[in-house]
Structure 1
Amino acid sequence: MALPMQRCWSRLRAVTLPWPAAGYHAKPLNLNLSGVYIPDPEDPKTKEWHKGPAYEAKLYGKYGSISGVKPEQLWPSPEQLQALEDEEKEWYPSLREMQAKVEAEEKALRMKEQERERLIAANMKKMPKMVEEWRRAKREARQKAREENAKKQHLLALAREKFGVSIDSRSARFQEMVKEMEKEEKRKLKAVKRIQREEEKAAIAKALNVASAAKPPTAPDSGSPE
């Protein structure tokens, strides 16, 4: 029995380092044998989410009075209660309020649909008239385009007669000739209107002369009887 023990000790001495190991003294662990971890809010190493009323409420809810948290300090203030009530009214309305809101939305949707149907019906009644007006506008536009084209061809023919060669309708000479012809047309129109006015005046004067000549003479007054 002694021989195996000696061999074991000799082998242990053989693997032992010739120099001593560095001294290391670990800090004692701050173990909470009660199983409740209560962080120190004054400790800079304490996490931010381990501070504040929310975490204290969590500790009290988990460990109760062992956590050392006073339950009365967890009760919200009047301002906080009012904020909670407002939030609940906004985000968690009652069943009656939700039903009223749904009914109002459905009513607004029905009214909008009815208004849309009335508008469609009114437009359908106007459709024949609108189609006829559209067709008339198209006819007038085509007629105007034909008249402008005929006028342009007439002006080009006059330009060929005046200048002896074909001329571009976009040239300055053609535009100048068009302006001169328009001025001449206006002068002719004014002369025609003036002649018409003179003829109307002459006809009125002639009618007045005929009417005065056809009127019987008035008998002279013979005076009162004796």
Structure 2
Amino acid sequence: MNICLRNKFTRLNLVSNFHRFSTTVPEIEQNEQVLIDDTEDLLAKEEEIRKKRNTSRLAKAHYNLVNGRRPYEEPNCLAHLTVKYNRKMYGKYGVASGVNPSLCWPTKKEIEEKKEFEAVAFPYTIRQVMDATAEKRREEQLRIEQRDIEVATKVAKLEQWKKELNDKVAKKAAEVLAAKQKKERLVEEVRRHFGFTLDPKDERFKEVLAKREKEQKKLEKQARMEAKEKMMIAKLQQKSGEISEKS
């Protein structure tokens, strides 16, 4: 289409030049107006053909985007007049965007603001950041090693802990069994006391059983006190023997 138009414009220019030499001034002006009208008609037809070829029914901006062109040839809102938007257009479409590339360079104010931001956001040098990162890695490695040592120590003590737990469970079971046997002995003594079978829920049975339990606790307490006295006497004798050996 563009080649045909250029050929037509060339013929029209030749015709207009010919008429300039062969006609009067009014005729020349009339012919030039005719040529202008013909040119406008041709451009209008070309635009109409281009629109008919666009069967996507997309908006002009969307159609431009799909075909890799700037969406808006002219500013459509205030945002299109901003430096940020024009930088974006130049960055994406280059020279075809029609943007002056000098806009892409930061201003002195922007440079100062960027320096101020970086001084606050990144106050440390690259070497300082690298040293801090290396120190953090060393601390993390040390923590892992200490954790491994603790785990190994606990694994080594696992058998001992299992033995202690089993001993504790066995001791508790022995205490429960001893208490049960003691209770059975007291019940049997109460039954022998009456000389006949008596329901354990009977008040007389409960009364005698409580009395027997009290006496048993008294005997156990006395036995503990005697054992404690014997232990203290043994310690005193040991200390006196040590003193006499030193003297």
Q: TM-score, normalised by structure 2?
A: 0.39
Structure (1 or 2) with the greater helix fraction = 2
* TM-score w.r.t. length of structure 1: 0.42
